[in-house]
Structure 1
Amino acid sequence: MTSRTQKTNKTYLLFIALAAAFGGFLFGYDTAVISGTIGFVKDKFALDTVMEGWFVSSALVGCIVGVAFAGELSDRFGRKKSLIASGLLFSISAIGCAVCGSHTELIIYRLVGGLGVGIASMLSPLYISEVSPANVRGRMVALYQFAITLGILCAYFANALLLGGGESSVSFAEGSLLHTVFVSEVWRSMFGSEVIPALLFFAAMFVVPESPRWYASKNRNEEAGAVLAKINGAEVAKKELKSIKNAIEKEGESSWSMLLQPGIRIAVFVGVALALLSQFTGINAIIYYGPRIMEEAGLQLSDALGGQVVIGAVNVLATVYAIMKIDQFGRKNLMKGGIIGMFISLIAVGTLFILEMTQGYLLIVFILTFIMSFAVGYGPVLWVLLSEIYPTKVRGRAMSVATLSVWVGTAVIGQVVPWMLETLTPAGTFFIFAVCCLPVPFILKSVPETKGLSLEDIESAWVKAKE
């Protein structure tokens, strides 16, 4: 009987974690789908380098705005309602981008989609962290990163498939909307394909429970206890709820000023620094501009998109390994190992460009090594740490600040990489990314190992930290 109950609890936890992690799928899909559209949109609207950068980074500006408000909204109205809003924004954006009539409309719908990405990028891992028991929390939150990589892979695959369909003799009447979307302007169907996962996420958020820690922060203890009991069983739920309530009482009133308290401000600094560096090490530059980099290395567009599918597959498989090992090896060890692999790979790629040895597949081998290293370490560990290290009452606000830093970094990269590739050359660009890997091991010295600790124990460790 006990085994059956435990199995049911694990099944329920996995269901709600996967449902929330689907926000990561949309995050990854939206991030990667643009890689196949850049050249087409540039030609369609005759964009110069600056406007091309704005097209890429416009959604990221929406992300920044979404994240800026998501923390406050989620602390006030709950994680669940905010995630439902995110799914709605994703759906509107996908449809709008597919049927937009001008470059301005396209940018507006990309901004709307960015709002959805920003909200989901902060709240999905936070929600999973708040519902998961300590012994499996790392794996559960890492599902979010897995969903991101799966979304990236599916976007690459969809782009390659739609490109192939657009180049074949598909029987749509010339001049019709379907012909425009799927044949003559295939970039529209690339964007529009996101509507399917967006609507699935929107629907899934209606059937998951609210975060028990959010319920407890609003003194809705019966509802908090009911959710905890369904996940962990009645006895464990009572103890966990008591621990949560004790931690909340010690925190006092929630406010932005709490982020500056001793101990907590160290956690905020660490989160912001790691978030920014996660982008400055070049991961999204490869996701956004991979086809262009590969074309410059001598591959044709269709081959480059096919190469992106391979990149996406490696990303997914490496993330699966991280999910299996994060609660065993610990957060810090995985991130340190990953950052070493990233540094070596970036130096190798830059060197290949200097030596003009980019023909063939040697370049792709080192790009795949970089992706693998990121997916094993930085990718999943960043989101796990950001979802773990902040007190309950300010977790939404604190994670909002850290996630905002992710998107500020991503927006900067999206805007400047075309200029970097053109002015500094690909070699110089990759060397700069490699230099940005160097501070990470030193920052990690300030982070306690969080594997196996409850959120309340982690909170206590930060609050007691001396500066």
Structure 2
Amino acid sequence: MSGTAAATHRGPGLFMIGLLASLAGLMFGLDIGVISGAQQFIETDLHVSDQAMGLIVSAMMAGAAVGSLGCGWASAALGRKRSLIVGGIVFVIGSIGCSQAGSAESLIVWRFVLGLAVGVASYTAPLYIAEIAPEAIRGRMISTYQLMLTSGILLAFLSDTAFSYHGHWRWMLGIIALPGVLFLLGLLVLPFSPRWLLMRGRRKEAHEVLMGLRGGLRRVVDAEIDDIDRQLKKPQQGWGLFRSSPDFRRSVGLGVLLQIIQQLTGINVVMYYAPKIFQTMGYAVEAQMWFTAAVGLVNVLATLLAMAVIDRWGRRPTLLAGFGVMAAGLAVISWTMRHGAPATHGLQLFTVIMLLVFIAGFAMSAGPLIWTLCSEIQPLKGRDFGIAASTVTNWGANMVVGFTFPLMLSGLGSSRTFLLYAVLNALFIAFTLALVPETKGMTLEAIENNLMAGKPLRRIGR
């Protein structure tokens, strides 16, 4: 039975299940966005230095790195559903803890706890969605995770704006526990992953779950179970393959570099510190918050556009265009801020527009494409290892960027800081030309064959 046929005969609850699981992305986005608007009020209330604020912001990423390291084992031992439930519980506890923090030190601890939940959810939710979705619509369903992430950032920015009028930073940090509770309630009705059930030898339950997901068509379900059985006979050999195969080490290395590059574009500098950036442009608190909400809106709209064109334009051309747009946008911002805040209202507004251009450039290119490439370039037997390595790297690089930006802003100044990120984006154009393959329209098997045959990385695709 073909993937298209399987997609045609799907149960009515499939998209609802996928949407519910992707709410993990919403929680991830909420946590990224919420700290942005709360910072200036935390600094005043808790007397926080630039270094301490960097630790408060980056503690979440440190927790996420730890959480993502352990969740491969947890998702296999407990199951994808139970892992998501654990992540949801920790998310709610961490959110409430952050809202009650009485010092910078306790806020750092609770942000780390919150990061553990984000690390589990960011690894497990896409995995769960991939395992319940028919092949023909898997890409679209997994893309809902990225869309929910950007939507979470926008909702957090809007929530921060509402609470900013009275400086209620504790409400900003605590309100995200509410979607966490709703997520937990929704998880109770999710089925277990049929792939995980088969891994555990629970064939009857796996068959029942797939019958519900595939509209009750036995031939479709039997064919899918046969496919899963064949895949399970090829066990993961990540560490052993990494030690024995220089070609696999090349693909892991490329995945790691791509994730470092994604963070060094400067995207999370904007997501974590948008109000502070708008403050350096000379805007008052209310304008800072509304412009921050505009950042979230552009991020969502550009992600929607990326989902529509990602498989038509190709990976390399889209990345090259995105890095070019981001480099140009940040270079212009650096120029307008070379003497401090822009001198005129028109120049201020132009600087904001260029920041939004930068956001759109990222959301259209490096945002979705780097995650796509990291999953496409890894061979089957080492895919779990390769993706885990790139995911942990993402969080580590994210933590470094989140910690260093306020120090760079105070030490180098806003103009030089943005110029540095502009130069990095320009360098990433050369990196893409030299190493990044074009994988559009290529099967994973063909990419793997080219990789393991020793072809240059940029030629393992088309």
TM bucket, shorter chain: 0.7 to 0.9
Distance in 1 between residues matched to 2:79 and 2:237, nearest whole Å: 15
Higher relative contact order (CA 8 A, sep 6+): 1
Query: Is 2:319–2:369's contact at 8 Å kept on the other side of the alignment?
Result: yes
Tell me, what secondary structure is at the counterpart of 1:354?
A: coil
Tell me, what secondary structure is at the counterpart of 2:189?
A: coil
Equivalent of 1:321 in 285, 290, 305: 305
Matched, 1:89 2:60: no
1:142 counterpart letter in structure 2: S
> Which is further off, 416-425 or 439-448?
439-448
Matched, 1:290 2:274: yes
Equivalent of 2:241 in 249, 253, 258: 258
Q: Any unmatched runs of 5+ in structure 2?
A: 457-462
Distance in 2 between residues matched to 1:426 and 1:398, nearest whole Å: 36
State the TM-score, normalized to the length of structure 2: 0.86
Partner of 2:431: 442
Q: Please show how residues 426-441 of structure 1 align to structure 2 within 5 Å.
A: 426-437=414-425, 438-439=427-428
Partner of 2:459: none
Partner of 1:400: 388
Query: Is 1:125–1:383's contact at 8 Å kept on the other side of the alignment?
Result: no
Partner of 2:170: 188
Matched, 1:350 2:334: yes
Note closer, same or farther for the CA distance 1:44–1:5 as it changes in structure 2 (3 Å cut). Answer: same
Computed over aligned residues only, the root mean square deviation of the Cα atoms, in angstroms, reads 3.0
Q: Please show how residues 43-442 of structure 1 align to structure 2 within 5 Å.
A: 43-164=44-165, 166=166, 186-218=168-200, 220=202, 223-224=205-206, 226-228=208-210, 230-232=212-214, 233-249=217-233, 251-252=234-235, 254=237, 256-260=239-243, 261-354=245-338, 358=342, 359=344, 360-390=348-378, 395-437=383-425, 438-439=427-428, 442=431
% identical equivalent positions: 35
Question: What is the number of equivalent residue pairs in this alignment?
Answer: 445
Note closer, same or farther for the CA distance 1:92–1:73 as it changes in structure 2 (3 Å cut). Answer: same
Note closer, same or farther for the CA distance 1:224–1:99 as it changes in structure 2 (3 Å cut). Answer: same
1:436 counterpart letter in structure 2: L
Note closer, same or farther for the CA distance 1:274–1:299 as it changes in structure 2 (3 Å cut). Answer: same
1:370 counterpart letter in structure 2: F
2:248 counterpart letter in structure 1: I
Query: Is 1:70–1:396's contact at 8 Å kept on the other side of the alignment?
Result: no
Distance in 2 between residues matched to 1:334 and 1:11, nearest whole Å: 35
Q: Residue by residue, what CA displacement relative to the aligned partner does 1:63-83 show, whole Å, maximum 9, x if unpaired? A: 121112122322333322222
> Which is further off, 193-202 or 123-132?
123-132
Query: Is 2:236–2:384's contact at 8 Å kept on the other side of the alignment?
Result: no
Distance in 2 between residues matched to 1:331 and 1:104, nearest whole Å: 43
Distance in 2 between residues matched to 1:392 and 1:229, nearest whole Å: 27
Distance in 1 between residues matched to 2:358 and 2:119, nearest whole Å: 25
Distance in 1 between residues matched to 2:47 and 2:302, nearest whole Å: 38
Query: Is 1:134–1:451's contact at 8 Å kept on the other side of the alignment?
Result: no
Tell me, what secondary structure is at the counterpart of 1:439?
A: helix
Deviation, structure 1 residue 11:
4.8
> Which is further off, 423-432 or 238-247?
238-247
Deviation, structure 1 residue 255:
5.0
Note closer, same or farther for the CA distance 1:247–1:450 as it changes in structure 2 (3 Å cut). Answer: farther
